[in-house]
Amino acid sequence: MYKALTLALSMALIPAFALAGPPPEKKAGIESKDYKWNAQEGEKIEALKLKGDPKAGKEGYEVCGACHLPSGAGRSDGTFPQLAGQHTTVLIKQMADIRAGLRDNPTMYPFAKELTDAQELANVSAYIESLCIPVDHGKYEGPDADKQIAAGKALYEKQCIECHKANGEGVKEKFYPVLAGQHYKYLLRQMTEIRDGHRRNANPDMVKVIKPYTNDQLVAISAYQASLTMPGSMCKAKPAAAKGGKKK
């Protein structure tokens, strides 16, 4: 009852709460010549050394579920990313970067800052990683979907597969994120922001790869990435209701 009430209140307060409190002081990011993409320091390195407790993290995730949904599925329109199954390393890095002012996300910051310490950061990340990746997510739905996915596949296999792997599983130890199950519109927005220099905590190696991409190429590669699935990590489809059965 208490947890349900907490979640309901969180959802009701999103507009006001998301605007409350001052943003963190911005740290120099990719625009600085001294920028180091994944410098292991401060809260981030402390959280990475800790063993996260998924059971404890479930309670901490409740406030996150207001936007990202209890399943971690996010929103198919790309306003909030799919989180379920993401590597703890990636989750810790991104939340720590937002908390530290290295990644600009004014909507997320008021919620991320509520995590009390490195242990809670590790716990919530462990819980999110334990969730199965929803099979239903936002995909490219244009009339030329097959053409766009084929073009995106060629680009992906040429320049992305080394880091993000064949099924979009990424590499946990190298902080390369899971792409499988992610929403098309979110992927396209992030790829565009990285290319255009607006994602201040971006990996410089990735910026170099996609800097020459046209808008059409970003659409194609995002369409392909959104089509990826990870065997054994996706949520199982619910069994079909028996025909003629009684409704419960």
For residues 38 and 221, which has the higher predicted lDDT (pLDDT)?
Answer: 221
Confidence of residue 9 (pLDDT cuts 50, 70, 90): very low
Two structure tokens written together for 137: 């997510």
In tens, the pLDDT along 88-126 reads 999 999 999 999 899 999 899 988 888 889 999 999 999
Pick the CATH number of 145-225 from 3.10.20.600, 1.10.760.10, 3.30.70.20, 2.30.30.90: 1.10.760.10
Q: Is the pTM of this model over 0.85?
A: yes
The Cα 116–Cα 244 span in angstroms is 52
The CATH H-level (homologous superfamily) assignment of domain 2-130 is Cytochrome c-like domain (1.10.760.10)
Residue limits of CATH 1.10.760.10 in the chain: 2-130, 145-225
Instruction: Report the pLDDT value the prediction gives residue 21, as an integer from 0 to 100.
Output: 59
Q: What's the rounded Cα separation, in Å, for the pair 203 and 182?
A: 19
